Amino acid sequence: MFQRIRTSCLLGIKAIPVNVEVDSSPGLPGFTLVGLPDNAVRESRERVVASIRSSGFAAGGTRMTVNLSPADLKKEGTSLDLPLAIGMLFASGEIAINHPERFVFLGELSLDGKVKAVHGALSVAMSLSKETDVLVVAKENVAEAGLVEGLSVLGVSSLAECISVISPGSRILPVKSSGLKSAKSASDAALPDFRFVVGMEGVKRALEIAAAGAHNFLLIGSPGAGKTLSARCLSGILPPMNDDEILECTRIYSSLHAVGDEAGVFLCSRPFRSPHHSSSMVALVGGGSRLLPGEASLAHNGVLFLDELPEFNRNALEALREPMEEGKIRISRASGTVVWPARFMMGAAMNPCPCGYSMDVKHGCTCLPDAVRRYRQRISGPLLDRIDIQVAVPSSDPKLLSQKREGESSADIRERVIRARALQMKRFKNRRVRSNSEMTSEETIRVAAMSVATEHFAVSAAEKMLLSARGYYRLLKVARTIADIKSASSVEISDLSEALQYRAFSNLGR
């Protein structure tokens, strides 16, 4: 008897529909699995058979042939266990299913018949029809699948329970998910607050502009000046994510099975990723044997902060140049091609020289000029040209620190950032652009409207500072963000003057 059961497999964050086709025929007992399964899928036979027996059903006695369609797509992971078990029991006639074409099964089985959570449940849920499909997953995956509003979801804890809820006459009805409304929670209490950052008003202003326009930034200063602390405070002034951004980020984390007890915390704030400087290229941009996402994709819609920037592998840094421009990473290997979203703010911090004190008036620099130049040249010109805001971090005066003064809080700064982002969302309504940093050159010229005198000032300054064409347009984008913070309709000379201050290190080490 032939039966077909629906499921899905992941290709990056994209869910590909897969049919588990099972044929049960008379003959010597046997099991044949075809359709490009990987080792984890091939091993599923032993898990499935043991799980079926533990659930009180027979396993074997007939010849089973299983095809995973489409046959040219490599099937990976353990999410096919549950649909495979249902298909075998359905084809052998041991169970009956009312309207089997409605159900989509996803889950890993243990030897005692328990259904375990799998990664990628959100991507599968987003690919289904809200009107006709019913997604059957482990109970641990229900909250994740429930982020898709209106989808019918059934959570089961065991194979026996799954069979009972899909059998004809079952009174257990699928639950219509409520979507993001029930998943959102807000708690920024644990984030560092700018009010405790004393004596660095210029740095706080630069980071406010970076947050308001989603601009890349670089902090350069002596050891202990507060570069890392200031960057971590950035999370407290970033605007909240909208529903689309929440789903985009959660799909990426779901592909790594990283959405669980911390899902609510993750959903309420933008990701802030800070990998160690020993991270490899694969760790930063993704790849490997399973084509997994890297730190750049995990920072999607958030911040990728690279502390001690010159200590990173140069090839790894250069690999970030393309996603910084395009907002995505395309990974091509012999096994296939996967596209990961990677629209992030890149933040970085570095010392000005190997000893760290060439910009500190209180300490003498012990580095030779050639050593300083070589150190700074670890950051390539093309990468530095893509960093919109470059600011020096001064050393803090101990007298100011001892006075226990508090500066402007992150909450107050965040209000201005949210207002500036709201102007940009209104400006770019119905477009793929979400912030000033993502504008094309044509959009930059149109949006950064200037008077003739202001434009002449911008061109003259760009020529004197030897800015590239990219650097010139990024200068205009930052100036437009500064104007947005004060709700100005056009870019003034004062906006450009402030933006020029943040390009002071464009020729660092050259």
Structure tokens at 510: 């050259």
Structure tokens at 274: 């800070």
Give me the amino acid identity at 123. Answer: S
Q: Is 130 found in the same domain as 75?
A: yes
Q: Is 470 found in the same domain as 376?
A: yes
Q: Is 489 found in the same domain as 412?
A: yes
* CATH code for the domain in which residue 162 is found: 3.30.230.10
Distance CA 324, CA 342 (A): 8
Cross-strand pairs, 226: none
Q: Is 211 found in the same domain as 145?
A: no
Distance CA 44, CA 431 (A): 45
Number of H helices, E strands in the chain: 22, 19
Q: Is 215 found in the same domain as 101?
A: no
Q: Is 374 found in the same domain as 398?
A: yes
Q: What is the pTM of this model?
A: 0.89
Number of folded domains that form the chain: 2
* CATH code for the domain in which residue 285 is found: 3.40.50.300
Does residue 507 lie in a domain region?
no
Does residue 406 lie in a domain region?
yes
Which of 130, 152, 182 terminates a domain? The answer is 182
SS3 of residue 175 by DSSP: strand
Q: Is 154 found in the same domain as 30?
A: yes
Does residue 393 lie in a domain region?
yes
Distance CA 247, CA 367 (A): 49
- Count Cβ atoms below 10 Å from residue 276 Cβ, excluding itself: 11
Does residue 188 lie in a domain region?
no
Q: Is 223 found in the same domain as 161?
A: no
Which of 182, 209, 244 terminates a domain? The answer is 182
Q: Is 395 found in the same domain as 253?
A: yes
Q: Is 277 found in the same domain as 407?
A: yes
Which domain, by its residues, includes 167?
Answer: 2-182
Does residue 187 lie in a domain region?
no
Which of 182, 214, 247 terminates a domain? The answer is 182
Tens digit of pLDDT per residue, the chain (510 long)?
899 999 999 988 999 999 999 998 877 778 889 998 988 888 898 899 999 999 999 876 788 899 999 998 889 889 999 999 999 999 998 999 988 999 999 999 999 999 999 999 999 999 999 889 999 999 999 988 888 889 999 999 999 999 999 998 887 777 777 777 655 554 455 778 898 888 788 999 999 999 999 999 999 999 988 899 999 999 999 999 988 898 899 899 888 875 554 444 345 679 999 999 999 999 999 988 788 899 999 999 999 999 999 999 999 999 999 999 999 999 988 777 899 999 999 999 999 999 999 888 788 899 999 999 999 999 999 999 999 999 999 887 766 666 666 778 999 999 999 999 999 999 998 888 899 999 999 999 999 989 999 999 999 999 999 899 999 999 999 999 999 999 999 999 999 999 999 987 766 655
Q: Is 21 found in the same domain as 134?
A: yes
How far from chain centre, in Å, is Cα 397? Answer: 38
- Count Cβ atoms below 10 Å from residue 371 Cβ, excluding itself: 14
